[in-house]
């Protein structure tokens, strides 16, 4: 019988907040409690709860042998979570992971001290579908993952990687989601090897200055490039299936290059240097438009976005409400608008919210406050 085992994190309550909820242990009746208790005991020893002795966090030393951490788990285990377990590269090599090669589908090693991925360990896990190495010290991937042809999701966020490894393209032919958040990537190389399968690419928090190398990703649905140094929206024309485009906190000064993205549903461009709303003529499926924290002076060129549900235009330079009604009144799907911290909020004073409700009776939320339904 397969089972899922989680090593609880007793030192952090938010370690899984970014990419998912905290995992729970699932096992066969009569066995789950005993095995989970064993794993919890191991975790407690690793963290020094019972011994009281100081441990060398950098070296990952512990009172219990690394080879014993997973010894009670059956070979049929499908899910192993070793989040925040102070494991270094040598520790991982001693875990005996290849023993689970026939059944293991998910392996979480996030928030550890791993700097090297050993091919002898990882290439044996050919049934793996989800590998999470978030927040370690990895600089290179090399050939360590080449045999993971069933891998669907790979998270290498918060490491020290300088480019998307070319080896991944030619071997990981099932990948749908890749996370490389907060690394040291400065250029997007040609990613044509992922053309057939990749659906979501997350490259936020890097050092990217230009959108490039994505032309072959014709099946991509989500592209996340926030917190980089991008100055222009370009080279996106072939991404016709894109539904979400996030380029927040960059250096964009003009909305352009989106003409071919007719399936776009969410466009996130907050915290840039955009002075004018334009270039959205073909993006008729937009449901969310976020232009908060820019330099927009006037609400314009959005009246044709008849499927819009949320409009974020807070923290800009809008001084009047005169364009609100003609631009938005006939968008019956619009439920939320953020206009706070524009000059108009100050000039209108207490009438600001009342006027918006009268102009746009379809609204359910203005800024952070719900509209009271009469």
Confirm whether 33 is domain-assigned: yes
pLDDT for the residue 170: 86
pLDDT for the residue 190: 82
Confirm whether 333 is domain-assigned: yes
Identify the band that residue 112 occupies on the pLDDT scale cut at 50, 70 and 90.
very high
Does residue 131 surpass a pLDDT of 60? yes
Helices (H), the chain: 32-46, 89-93, 119-122, 166-171, 324-328, 343-348, 351-359
Confirm whether 27 is domain-assigned: yes
Confirm whether 175 is domain-assigned: no
pLDDT for the residue 368: 96
Closest CA to 86 of 108, 107, 57: 57
139: exposed, middle or buried (Cβ count in 10 Å: 0-12, 13-18, 19+): middle
Does residue 141 surpass a pLDDT of 90? yes
- Concatenated DSSP letters of 188-218: ----GGGTTT--EEE--SS---S--S-TT-T
Closest CA to 262 of 200, 304, 298, 216: 304
Average pLDDT over residues 312-325: 97
- Give the angle subtended at the CA of 108 by the CAs of 105 and 111, to the nearest 5°: 170
The secondary structure of residue 280, as a DSSP letter, is -
The span from the CA of 135 to the CA of 84, in Å, is: 9
Average pLDDT over residues 246-252: 99
Confirm whether 167 is domain-assigned: no
**Ramachandran category for residue 182: left, alpha or beta (phi over 0 → left; psi -120 to 50 → alpha):** left
Does residue 24 surpass a pLDDT of 50? no
62 token code pair = 């512990």
374 and 309 in one domain?
yes
278 and 313 in one domain?
no
128 and 7 in one domain?
yes
- Please, which residues bridge with residue 153 across strands? 130, 177
Q: What is the pLDDT of residues 265-308, one digit of tens each?
A: 999 999 999 999 999 999 999 999 999 999 999 999 999 999 99
List the CATH number of the domain containing 361.
3.80.10.10
132 and 31 in one domain?
yes
Confirm whether 214 is domain-assigned: yes
- Please, which residues bridge with residue 130 across strands? 106, 153
319 token code pair = 């001084």
pLDDT for the residue 169: 87
Domain count, the chain: 3
pLDDT for the residue 219: 98
Q: Which residue has the higher pLDDT, 263 or 193?
A: 263
pLDDT for the residue 59: 47
List the CATH number of the domain containing 104.
3.80.10
Look at strands 336-338 and 288-290 and give their pairing. Answer: unpaired
pLDDT for the residue 5: 53
Instruction: Among 37-51, 119-133, 144-158, 327-341, name the one with the lowest average pLDDT.
Output: 37-51
Helices (H), 280-350: 324-328, 343-348
Q: Quick check: helix, strand or coil at residue 328? A: helix
Q: Which of 251, 286, 321 is the last residue of a domain?
A: 286
Q: Which of 286, 312, 347 is the last residue of a domain?
A: 286
Does residue 8 surpass a pLDDT of 50? no
The span from the CA of 323 to the CA of 319, in Å, is: 10
Which whole-number Å values give the CA distances from 294 to 28, 105, 271, 312, in the listed order? 54, 44, 6, 11
User: In residues, how long is the chain?
Assistant: 374
296 token code pair = 């927009």
Confirm whether 291 is domain-assigned: no
Q: Name, in order, each residue with C-beta under 8 angstroms of 354's C-beta and a sequence gap of 6 or more.
A: none
117 and 30 in one domain?
yes
370 and 233 in one domain?
no
Closest CA to 105 of 144, 73, 131, 135: 131
In terms of average pLDDT, the best of 1-15, 20-34, 153-167 is 153-167
193 and 124 in one domain?
no
Q: Which residue has the higher pLDDT, 8 or 15?
A: 8
Q: What is the pLDDT of residues 320-370, one digit of tens each?
A: 999 999 999 999 999 999 999 999 999 999 999 999 999 999 999 999 999
Q: Can you tell me which residue has the tokens 């499927």?
A: 307
Average pLDDT over residues 199-224: 97
305 and 198 in one domain?
no
Q: What is the pLDDT of residues 151-178, one digit of tens each?
A: 999 999 999 999 988 888 889 999 999 9
Does residue 180 surpass a pLDDT of 60? yes
The span from the CA of 170 to the CA of 185, in Å, is: 20
337 and 219 in one domain?
no
| In the chain, % of residues over pLDDT 90 | 78
Domain range for residue 371?
297-374
216 token code pair = 């072959």
90 token code pair = 């040598």
User: pTM for the full model?
Assistant: 0.83
Which whole-number Å values give the CA distances from 310 to 75, 188, 189, 276, in the listed order? 49, 31, 34, 18
Average pLDDT over residues 15-34: 35
The span from the CA of 153 to the CA of 128, in Å, is: 9
332 and 195 in one domain?
no
Neighbours of 130 (CB within 10 A): 18
Confirm whether 178 is domain-assigned: no
241 and 347 in one domain?
no
The span from the CA of 354 to the CA of 315, in Å, is: 20
| In the chain, % of residues over pLDDT 70 | 83
pLDDT for the residue 340: 98
Q: Which of 237, 262, 286 is the last residue of a domain?
A: 286
Instruction: Among 20-24, 247-251, 314-318, name the one with the lowest average pLDDT.
Output: 20-24
The span from the CA of 298 to the CA of 132, in Å, is: 44
223 and 281 in one domain?
yes
Residue 326 phi, psi (nearest 5):
-65, -30
The span from the CA of 320 to the CA of 234, in Å, is: 32
300 token code pair = 């314009």
Average pLDDT over residues 131-157: 97
Identify the band that residue 6 occupies on the pLDDT scale cut at 50, 70 and 90.
low
pLDDT for the residue 53: 42
């Amino acid at each position: 019988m397969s089972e899922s085992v989680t090593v609880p994190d007793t030192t952090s309550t938010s370690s899984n907040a970014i990419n998912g909820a905290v995992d729970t242990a699932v096992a066969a009746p009569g066995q789950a409690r005993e095995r989970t208790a064993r794993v919890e005991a191991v975790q407690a020893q690793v963290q020094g709860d019972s011994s009281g002795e100081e441990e060398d966090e950098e070296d990952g030393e512990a009172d219990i042998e690394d080879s014993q951490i997973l010894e009670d788990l059956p070979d049929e285990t499908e899910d192993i979570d070793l989040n925040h377990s102070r494991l270094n590269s040598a520790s991982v090599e001693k875990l005996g992971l290849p023993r689970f090669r026939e059944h293991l589908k998910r392996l979480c090693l996030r928030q550890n001290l791993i700097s090297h991925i050993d091919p002898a360990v990882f290439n044996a896990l050919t049934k793996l579908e989800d590998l999470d190495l978030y927040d370690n010290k990895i600089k290179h991937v090399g050939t360590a993952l080449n045999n993971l042809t069933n891998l669907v999701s790979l998270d290498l966020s918060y490491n020290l990687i300088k480019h998307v490894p070319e080896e991944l393209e030619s071997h990981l032919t099932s990948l749908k989601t890749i996370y490389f958040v907060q690394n040291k990537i400065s250029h997007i190389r040609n990613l044509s090897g992922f053309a057939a399968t990749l659906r979501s690419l997350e490259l936020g928090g890097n050092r990217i200055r230009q959108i490039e190398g994505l032309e072959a990703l014709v099946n991509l649905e989500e592209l996340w490039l926030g917190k980089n140094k991008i100055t222009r929206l370009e080279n996106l024309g072939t991404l016709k299936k894109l539904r979400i485009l996030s380029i927040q906190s960059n250096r964009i000064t003009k909305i352009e290059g989106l003409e071919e993205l007719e399936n776009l549903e969410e466009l996130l461009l907050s915290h840039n240097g955009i002075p004018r709303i334009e270039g959205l003529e073909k993006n008729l499926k937009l449901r969310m438009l976020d232009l908060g924290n820019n330099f927009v002076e006037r609400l314009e060129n959005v009246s044709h976005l008849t499927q819009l549900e949320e409009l974020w235009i807070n923290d800009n330079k809008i001084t009047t409400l005169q364009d609100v009604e003609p631009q938005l009144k006939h968008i019956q799907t619009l439920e939320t608008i953020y206009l706070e911290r524009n000059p108009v909020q100050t000039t209108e004073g207490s009438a600001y919210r009342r006027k918006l409700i009268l102009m746009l009776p379809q609204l359910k939320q203005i800024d952070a406050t719900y509209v009271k339904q009469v």
